[in-house]
């Protein structure tokens, strides 16, 4: 690749786990000042935070879907049609929020 400049900053989760590295490569020789290296570290911290939010959001969504499904089963067992309708609407809203392209391909 003819790399002449390489700078890297670790991606670390809020729990202290190593997630990877944010790397900058260039074919031209370069020098980085302290401000540039601090910016790279800041970008790495931001990237790790985004990764953490995505994982947390996915875990929360999976928990919310499971909870809604359990509540729908109980409502069906109790023959509570009004609650089934409310929970079904909530589940569909969550589904649309998580994956909007599912809705665009669904026939109405």
Per residue of the chain (108 residues), what is the pLDDT tens digit?
889 999 999 999 888 889 899 999 999 999 999 999 999 999 999 999 888 887 777 777 778 888 888 889 988 999 989 999 998 898 888 877 777 655 455 444
Token couple for 57: 């959001």
Query: Is 67 in contact with 91 (CB distance < 8 Å)?
Result: no
Residues 6+ apart with CB under 8 A from 40: 7, 8, 9, 22, 24, 32
Residues 6+ apart with CB under 8 A from 65: 91, 94, 95
């Amino acid at each position: 690749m003819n790399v002449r400049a390489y700078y890297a900053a670790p991606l670390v989760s809020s729990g202290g786990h190593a997630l990877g590295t944010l790397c900058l490569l260039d074919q031209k020789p370069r020098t980085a000042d302290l401000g540039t290296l601090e910016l790279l570290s800041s970008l790495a911290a931001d990237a790790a935070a985004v990764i953490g939010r995505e994982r947390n959001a996915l875990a929360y969504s999976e928990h919310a879907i499971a909870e809604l499904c359990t509540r729908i089963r109980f409502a069906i067992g109790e023959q509570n049609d009004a609650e089934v309708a409310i929970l079904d609407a909530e589940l569909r809203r969550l589904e649309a929020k998580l994956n909007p392209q599912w809705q665009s391909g669904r026939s109405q």
